[in-house]
Structure 1
Amino acid sequence: MKPEALLHPTPAGLYCPPGDFYIDPVRPVDRAVVTHGHADHARSGHGAVLATPETLEIMATRYGEDFTERRQSAEIGEVVNLNGVALWLVPAGHVLGSAQAVVEHKGTRMVVTGDYKRRRDPTCAGFEPVPCDVLISEATFGLPVFRHPDTAGEVAKLLHSLEQFPERAHLVGAYALGKAQRIIRHLREQGYDETIYIHGAMQRLCDLYERLGVPLGPLAPATVKDGRGAKQDFEGKVVVCPPSAMGSTWARRFPDPVIAFASGWMRVRQRAKQKGVELPLIVSDHADWDELTDTVREVDPHQLWVTHGREDALVRWAEVEGRVARPLHLIGYEDEND
């Protein structure tokens, strides 16, 4: 069958007519398949949601009583029949519970990567390439300028700064789901065993990661006391917070803080400067240019459909390689940490 008959873009998101379901819909639908727990992909208000057990736990934690959908848990690799369409989930390496959606019907197989990365992440299962007829790939960092450095080296920069400035608190801006826990785990792996302080907005998700088997070590609330206590409590400490908190009055109560930000966008010096970042850490949960192109070559699909970001550059690269490619221009998805 033609790929467009199996999956095609609509204003609500990617729709599968024979299976009557959407993948990561941006509007409420009767049945949603959700690739991971970030809010731009995992929205509430659907009639039913199918996702990995971890993603369902994350959605329940984030939405609480508003998460009233019927829930269908699908383990990695478990084939689910949806109106005659075979669907199964494969690790995406993005955050805990993240998955690619593999859709197969009448001899046509399509893979929706969702958000993904190829480098090792100690908080989630690694990406697994799946041969297919059509690969629908994200392209958040789909420009050749985006080549992410080794993660251990970026975390070493933070550890080195702690040694250089033991009298200053180090505020690390990181997305509350996935990035924060990953930074904490990398710090632990590189020998940092002191208490790490976390913003209150991260407490529930860090607790969930621990409950789901990702040890984060000693954590404590980053509660800043008025007066003389704050300086003594947070000198030389790591404080992990949402990016939105870095410019708030909350952040200004710490002792002469070093402002760090963990994001793939820190490759762009002007963006770091605009955000007042003293210590940019190029740590991304998305594939960089080499990961994107290497994945296309490895999967070797008959067609490449590109979405979520810098679509035109990756489409052009594929065409130069002699591949059939097209942009999807899906709306409603946000870039990392925006």
Structure 2
Amino acid sequence: MIRPQALLCPKPEGLYCAPGDFFIDPVRPVARAVITHGHADHARAGHGAVLATPQTLGIMAERYGEGFAEARQAAAYGEAVARDDVEVTLVPAGHVLGSAQAVVRWRGLTMVVSGDYKRRRDPTCPPFEPVACDVFISEATFGLPVFRHPDDAEEVRKLLRSVRQFPERSHIVGAYALGKAQRIIALLREAGWERPIYVHGALERLNRLYEGHGIDLGPLEPATSSAKKADFAGQIIVAPPGALADRWSRRFPDPVAAFASGWMRVRARARQRGVELPLVISDHADWDELTATIDEIRPGELWITHGREEALARWAELHGVPARALALVGYEEEDDD
């Protein structure tokens, strides 16, 4: 019986695969890296060679420039890639465009690194695919029972009700530039909002990248398209979260500050950010989704990389799945980069 630690083990740089000599989502430059998705806490520049989905490689090039790594290799979902005698396959994680779980196989042992993931439908990326494995290595960003995310569509309807209630005001939705912003826009389109959505300049390049991969975001306009405050009355603006408290927001008429994040479940966080309209929409699995995923996969072992590790490990143990917390550092609580 091969010990899982012989295939993947935690190091200061991140999870290391000794038989294949590569790291998964390393937090500092390494010779060979497998990258699960394009958020900055998982996808850093400066590696020698990078293996990722074509979408993630495109995101990294957009954010860091074409020279973000010495070499790159694209792997489509389901395509097996050999690293020495280790096989690596990327399967959808449902987190953001191009996000993947890394399925690592060696000598009959299968370990799955989830990266960041969610289980609910997202119109901007393929859904999470569960993979049978000996060891499932999961995040636990929202790994506490208090975190149970409401229905995404209902949160968007809450936003639209506020727009109807306050037609003289603008609504600025704080949303992370990669993934969340595009998902909010797509959900608004599904809810019937056909008017132009105004976007902060920091979102424009990633919006174009999403559209280049076939994600229809509908009519978008720069949030600087008019100098008159009155022109933005009754309109929706999507911007990075930091813009909510920035001088930039003063160009809009009496803006309603909204913020789309799983952390908006915590009222104190909403108050700290001055958020008038919290929208509990997350790109991470909540407690019920985390536990349901473990129950569905039923791995031989559960390893937890980052987040609320202790509670999820305890739940797994009580349900017959041996678990351990890896306590990896360098990964943010959510995808705010």
Normalising to structure 2: TM-score of the pair? 0.98
Q: Distance in 1 between matches of 2:123 and 2:146?
A: 26
Amino acid at match of 1:124: C
Question: Would you say the 8 A contact 1:263–1:282 is kept in 2?
Answer: yes
What is the aligned partner in structure 1 of residue 48 from structure 2? 47
What is the aligned partner in structure 2 of residue 215 from structure 1? 216
What is the aligned partner in structure 1 of residue 203 from structure 2? 202
Q: Distance in 1 between matches of 2:166 and 2:243?
A: 22
Report the 3-state secondary structure (helix = DSSP H, G, I; strand = E; otherwise coil) of the residue aligned with 1:171.
strand
| Partner residue of 1:325 out of 316, 323, 331 | 323
Q: Distance in 2 between matches of 1:173 and 1:113?
A: 26
Question: Would you say the 8 A contact 2:298–2:321 is kept in 1?
Answer: no
Deviation at 1:112, TM superposition (A): 0.2
Amino acid at match of 1:179: K
Q: Distance in 2 between matches of 1:323 and 1:86?
A: 25
Question: Would you say the 8 A contact 1:94–1:285 is kept in 2?
Answer: yes
What is the aligned partner in structure 2 of residue 188 from structure 1? 189
Question: Would you say the 8 A contact 1:18–1:85 is kept in 2?
Answer: yes
Question: Would you say the 8 A contact 1:243–1:337 is kept in 2?
Answer: no
Question: Would you say the 8 A contact 1:263–1:337 is kept in 2?
Answer: no
Q: What is the count of residue pairs matched by the alignment?
A: 335
Q: Distance in 2 between matches of 1:263 and 1:245?
A: 15
Question: Would you say the 8 A contact 1:117–1:285 is kept in 2?
Answer: yes
What is the aligned partner in structure 2 of residue 282 from structure 1? 280
Structural mapping, 1:1-338, within 5 Å: 1-223=2-224, 229-338=227-336
Q: Distance in 2 between matches of 1:85 and 1:317?
A: 31
Distance 1:169 1:143, change over 3 A: same
Amino acid at match of 1:130: V
Report the 3-state secondary structure (helix = DSSP H, G, I; strand = E; otherwise coil) of the residue aligned with 1:204.
helix
Q: C-alpha offsets along residues 261-307 of structure 1, whole Å, 9 cap, x if unaligned?
A: 00000000111011110000000000000000000000000000012
Amino acid at match of 2:105: E
Question: Would you say the 8 A contact 1:307–1:328 is kept in 2?
Answer: yes
Question: Would you say the 8 A contact 1:147–1:290 is kept in 2?
Answer: yes
Deviation at 1:337, TM superposition (A): 4.7
Deviation at 1:25, TM superposition (A): 0.3
Q: Distance in 1 between matches of 2:243 and 2:191?
A: 26
Amino acid at match of 2:190: E
Q: Distance in 2 between matches of 1:55 and 1:14?
A: 19
Amino acid at match of 1:64: G
Q: Which runs of no fewer than 5 residues in structure 2 stay unpaired?
A: none
Q: Distance in 1 between matches of 2:67 and 2:333?
A: 25
Deviation at 1:65, TM superposition (A): 4.5
Report the 3-state secondary structure (helix = DSSP H, G, I; strand = E; otherwise coil) of the residue aligned with 2:47.
coil
Amino acid at match of 1:144: P
Q: Distance in 2 between matches of 1:18 and 1:280?
A: 46
Amino acid at match of 2:83: L
Q: C-alpha offsets along residues 106-146 of structure 1, whole Å, 9 cap, x if unaligned?
A: 11100000000000000000000000000000000000000
Deviation at 1:66, TM superposition (A): 4.6
Q: C-alpha offsets along residues 80-109 of structure 1, whole Å, 9 cap, x if unaligned?
A: 010100110000000000000000001110
Q: Which runs of no fewer than 5 residues in structure 1 stay unpaired?
A: none
Deviation at 1:224, TM superposition (A): 6.9
Percent identical residues: 69
Q: Distance in 2 between matches of 1:13 and 1:275?
A: 31
Amino acid at match of 1:304: L
Amino acid at match of 1:191: G
Q: C-alpha offsets along residues 1-60 of structure 1, whole Å, 9 cap, x if unaligned?
A: 110000000000000000000000001000000000000000000001000000001111
Please report the RMSD computed on the Cα atoms of aligned residues, expressed in angstroms.
Answer: 1.0
Moved over 2 A (4+): none
Deviation at 1:231, TM superposition (A): 1.9
Normalising to structure 1: TM-score of the pair? 0.98
Question: Would you say the 8 A contact 2:39–2:335 is kept in 1?
Answer: no
Q: Distance in 1 between matches of 2:225 and 2:327?
A: 44
Q: Distance in 2 between matches of 1:162 and 1:337?
A: 27
Report the 3-state secondary structure (helix = DSSP H, G, I; strand = E; otherwise coil) of the residue aligned with 2:228.
helix
Deviation at 1:322, TM superposition (A): 2.3
Amino acid at match of 1:237: Q
